[in-house]
Structure 1
Amino acid sequence: MNLTIGPLFESIAVYLWPFVRVAAFVMVMPVIGGSFVPGRVRLMIALVLTLVIAPVLQPAITVNFLSFAGVIIILQELAIGIAMGFAVQLIFDAIALGGQVVAMSMGLGFAVFLDRQRGVNIPVLGQFFLMLGMLIFLSLDGHLALIQLIGESFRILPIAGAGLTQGAVSFLLSWSGQVFVVALKIALPAITALLVVNLSFGVMSRAAPTLNLFAVGFPVAMLLGFVVIFLSMGSLTENVSRSTADALEMLPALLNSR
């Protein structure tokens, strides 16, 4: 009896190619891709999504995944999944950056906390902003929209197609500038208020040189910073919602870039 492994490889490839893209996306996407989510859980999510997506895709390509061409396709699928997850993750990096800027202006830069999303230490205020951003993202069903987009990506960029073009890479690099734009929108109210306070204390120090600014200015700046943060919660929610919507609208444009 002659046994051939060709049909076996073809059956594996039907699920392998989609799994590579989906797994790369799940490992990088916001919330689910955080280090606080166990790797096994993320792997199971990727497997379940692959089992749902793979049967409705176009017929699998007849390329041995152990060949050189198969390795190239795997690298292409990895790049597509990572690029999609990274593009959305930039919004949350901007939220954390905005919180860090506010914390530094208030004098809370020394209060750091382990960010379980990235595994690094960031100011507590930045972590607070990031948690609020995640809750807003989940309340807007952003995670469901991302799952829908990863399924739609197989129609826009089929497996073994052109992959990420130079135009897509350039588009992604230009989109990375949104980190500073969103961070500025989030931190601008607190920075403006604290700048006025610092200028006021500068004038007071010239009028009364014996005034201990460290004993007076630090509590006032911190208290005013918390008041401004409380008053600007509405704008924070609006900025996060708008930025999330922009990121979801950007992904199809990224995949269609030529």
Structure 2
Amino acid sequence: MAALINLSAIPVFLLIFLRIAAFFVVLPLFSYRTIPTPFKIGFAFFLALTMYYAVDAAAVPIDGVYVVLLVKEIIVGLLIGLLAYIILSAVQIAGGFIDFQMGFAIANVIDPQTGAQSPLTGQYLYIFALLFLLSVNGHHLLIDGIYFSYKMIPVSEFIPIHQESMATFIITTFNQMFLVAFQMAIPIVGCLFLVDVALGIIARTVPQLNVFVVGLPLKILVSFIIIFIFLGLYITLTEKLFGTMFTAMRDLMQLFGGT
């Protein structure tokens, strides 16, 4: 039995497993509460077992440096998955902008996937984004990303971090995220702004009309119509958001790998 188990492979396998497990902890779709924890652990284990035979990694001795490598692998997996989660949160930000103009900002709901509060419209658009991600096999691309991370960030090497490059990368990524969120929200927010202007004019010309009673259902009706009209544009912007997410993940791995 001992001959069938290569004990020297266990340290390298553990490094690969920790990066994949940390990646799934924060990654969209794979990190949700509705997915049982034993399934997450088992999926990460067998995926790490598959990648062990595909990744070129030299034997790593167990010493003080090995503990640092374990921490490095956890940090790399968490940061790559967290980056994907943060960029997809642009949909929630856009929904927050829309709900504020619609009057739904006070009516947040509990997301059963993450357990956090999220805006109504943001949750609606986020579900569409996740379904679109699954329909184009985006989850396969996410797994490919963690696989290619071993080529850019070797298991047995440390991460050369350049503070100026990291700061520039963070600023650029967040700028693109908020830009896409603004592009998603601006059609509806702009139309609701025009509705507010029209209600203000009506309030000045017809003082007997209570615009607070008429305005809220009118803005909700207009919002639903505009969301229905601009749903095709939203899918296009979601595709652009996915491209931004995959590009940012690649750039982060290249930054960590020193390339």
TM-score (norm 2): 0.90
Corresponding residue of 1:34: 32
Is the counterpart of residue 159 in structure 1 residue 160 in structure 2?
no
CA distance in structure 2 between the partners assigned to 1:188 and 1:97 by the alignment: 12
Describe the superposition over 1:112-156 as per-residue Cα deviations: whole angstroms up to 9, x where unpaired. Answer: 221133311112221111100100111111100111111111011
- Offset, 1:90: 1.8
- Structure 2 residue identity aligned to 1:48: F
Single out whichever of 171-180 and 91-100 deviates more from structure 2: 171-180
CA distance in structure 2 between the partners assigned to 1:104 and 1:202 by the alignment: 18
Equivalent residue runs for 1:67-82 within 5 Å: 67-82=63-78
- In structure 1, the gaps of 5 or more residues are 1-6
CA distance in structure 1 between the partners assigned to 2:193 and 2:64 by the alignment: 59
- Offset, 1:35: 2.4
Equivalent residue runs for 1:43-122 within 5 Å: 43-64=41-62, 67-122=63-118
CA distance in structure 1 between the partners assigned to 2:128 and 2:78 by the alignment: 24
- Offset, 1:225: 0.5
Is the counterpart of residue 21 in structure 1 residue 19 in structure 2?
yes
Q: Could you tell me whether the CA contact under 8 Å between 1:112 and 1:123 is conserved in 2?
A: yes
Corresponding residue of 2:224: 226
- Give the ranges of 4+ consecutive aligned residues of structure 1 lying more than 3 Å apart after TM superposition: none
Is the counterpart of residue 239 in structure 1 residue 234 in structure 2?
no
How many correspondences in the alignment?
250
- Offset, 1:101: 1.5
CA distance in structure 1 between the partners assigned to 2:28 and 2:112 by the alignment: 12
Q: Could you tell me whether the CA contact under 8 Å between 2:33 and 2:114 is conserved in 1?
A: yes
CA distance in structure 2 between the partners assigned to 1:165 and 1:70 by the alignment: 19
CA distance in structure 2 between the partners assigned to 1:73 and 1:14 by the alignment: 10
Is the counterpart of residue 183 in structure 1 residue 181 in structure 2?
yes
- In structure 2, the gaps of 5 or more residues are 1-5
Q: Could you tell me whether the CA contact under 8 Å between 1:25 and 1:81 is conserved in 2?
A: yes
Q: Could you tell me whether the CA contact under 8 Å between 1:30 and 1:89 is conserved in 2?
A: yes
Describe the superposition over 1:188-215 as per-residue Cα deviations: whole angstroms up to 9, x where unpaired. Answer: 1000000000011111112222320111
CA distance in structure 2 between the partners assigned to 1:129 and 1:224 by the alignment: 17
Identity across aligned pairs (percent)? 27
Q: Over aligned residue pairs, what C-alpha RMSD do you find? A: 1.9
CA distance in structure 2 between the partners assigned to 1:29 and 1:215 by the alignment: 43
Corresponding residue of 1:133: 129
TM-score (norm 1): 0.90
Describe the superposition over 1:19-74 as per-residue Cα deviations: whole angstroms up to 9, x where unpaired. Answer: 0111111111111112222222211121121011012222433321xx43122111
CA distance in structure 2 between the partners assigned to 1:86 and 1:164 by the alignment: 20
Q: 1:134 to 1:164 in 2, by over 3 A?
A: farther
